Amino acid sequence: ATLTEQQRDSWRTYARQHPRKNRLGDLTNNSGYQRFLSANFRCKRHDAAIPFLLAPCNPPLAPPLHTITASDAADTVTIALPPNTYLTPFDGLRLWLYLGAETASGVNFYSTPWRYADDNLYTDAWQTDPWTVPALGNLTAGNKIWTKLIAQDNNSGAISTPSPADVVVLA
């Protein structure tokens, strides 16, 4: 999509007003282009559309806290949202889940490649609670997997910073 100058200005203003945290937790400035991509990239890949041409009027969402468990017997990952993660979930709140798997023993961090695993759209209730997804491959007991969960307001495009978690796979 080609943005008009007004649309570009809205994204530039949004980026200036809402700096993001990097992996180390430091606030960094993003360009309007980067904010446009973060709000629209997942939707474009999943729904084949670019829904948010104007920047959100809402501030970014809080990162969604979550816990995970993983089992090599079922090759599944289960995500649980603690009570009150979102005090009043609203229709159109979407959670995007990405997984990363240990490639070498003893790794205690993960940066890439993240693989899209699933998304969960809130409409009156979460699709399942807890939320169980296939592991995108065979899990091995004792290895570590990582998740990155991102919340997005499907109505305005406001998006959270990624919320990471990790767990050792159980037998």
3-state secondary structure 12-44: HHHHHHCCEECCCCCEECCCHHHHHHHHHHHHH
Q: Which of 11-25, 66-80, 126-140, 142-156 has the lowest mean pLDDT?
A: 126-140
Q: Which of 21-25, 39-43, 118-122 has the lowest mean pLDDT?
A: 21-25
Judged against a pLDDT cut of 80, whether residue 83 lies above it is answered with no
Instruction: List % helix, strand, coil for the chain (3-state, nearest 5).
Output: 15, 30, 50
Which among 151, 143, 146, 147 is positioned nearest to 168, based on CA atoms?
A: 143
Q: What is the mean pLDDT of the chain?
A: 84
Structure tokens, 119: 């998304």
Query: How many residues would you count in the chain?
Result: 171
More confident residue, 170 or 150: 150
Task: Determine the average pLDDT of the residues in 19-26.
Answer: 83
Give the C-alpha distances (Å, rounded to integers) separating 102 from 8, 98, 152: 39, 14, 27
More confident residue, 108 or 42: 42
More confident residue, 143 or 8: 8
Tokens 């499907």 — which residue? Answer: 154
Q: H-helix or E-strand containing 20?
A: strand 20-21
Domains of the chain: 5-47 (no CATH), 67-168 (2.60.40)
pTM of the model: 0.84
> What would the pLDDT profile of 40-81 be if each residue is shown by its tens digit?
999 898 888 899 999 999 899 888 888 899 988 888 888 888
3-state secondary structure 153-167: ECCCCCECCCEEEEE
Q: Which of 22-31, 121-130, 145-154, 161-170 has the lowest mean pLDDT?
A: 121-130
